[in-house]
Amino acid sequence: MKSETRSKLMGVSVATLATALFKRGLRNQVIQGVHPVAPKGRNMVGPAFTLRYMPAREDRNQLSEFRNPKHPQRVAIETCPEGHVMVIDSRKDARAASAGDILITRLMMRGGAGIVTDGGFRDAATIGALDIPAYHARPSSPTNLTLHEAIEINGPIGCGDAPIFPGDIVVGDEDCVIVIPAHLAEEVADEAVEMSAYEDFVVEQVKNGQTITGLYPCTKEEHQAAFAEWRKSNGR
């Protein structure tokens, strides 16, 4: 992705992006049911690199499987491109882990931009202290082999009921994670920057006692003018 697009997306909220996608008829792009393992004070932004789990069949998922250098979970961690966000389809099942602190530390060292699962992470307290954004449903200590078999790297998946295609742009803030279809990323980023400027203006007005009627959304010309003024004085 373009670094300008990344910068823009670092500065807008998932709520604003959700509205921009809603305008385009996309209603299901928020990954439902996940939250930050720990707040990072900045957005997570990057193209999706995916991993899909299927239910584990016991004979194929003994601890010895991890000794296989081609085990897809480990290969995914070692091949996720720099700046990408790993998105894991764990079938919304957090009863066993999607990954743990060692793998996520490795992903961080390799330059990963973040990681999301609709299941849970083990060693979550440790992961929360790492300098990489991570989102999950809840902490989950059992090894992934208990219920999940990593089966496919970088194919199209579902995560938290949202559709994810490799290369889609993933953005997470302190509330939620959203997936922007790759071809829309730039225009949506631009629009969201504009929307954010207006929202910031509105918040300031509302904190000064202004009613939202006619202001949010803007249906009165006077607010358009005031906003133009505000942009100038605030360099937005």
Site for a second copy in 149-188 (CB under 8 A): 149, 151-152, 155-158, 161-163, 173-176, 178, 181
Report the nearest approach of a second copy to the CB of residue 220 (Å).
Answer: 10
Nearer to a second copy, 3 or 57 (CB): 57
**Which residue has 């202290």 as its token pair?**
129
Assigned token pair, 75: 């290969």
77 lies in the binding site for a second copy (CB under 8 A): yes
* CB count in 10 Å sphere of residue 175: 12
Q: Which of 83, 186, 216, 231 binds a second copy (CB under 8 A)?
A: 216
Number of H helices, E strands in the chain: 7, 12
27 lies in the binding site for a second copy (CB under 8 A): yes
Report the nearest approach of a second copy to the CB of residue 212 (Å).
Answer: 5
Nearer to a second copy, 26 or 113 (CB): 26
118 lies in the binding site for a second copy (CB under 8 A): no
Find out whether 191 and 22 touch, Cβ atoms under 8 Å: no
Nearer to a second copy, 4 or 42 (CB): 42
Cα separation, 57 vs 231, whole angstroms: 58
Question: What pairs with residue 149 in β-bridges?
Answer: 54
Find out whether 77 and 103 touch, Cβ atoms under 8 Å: yes
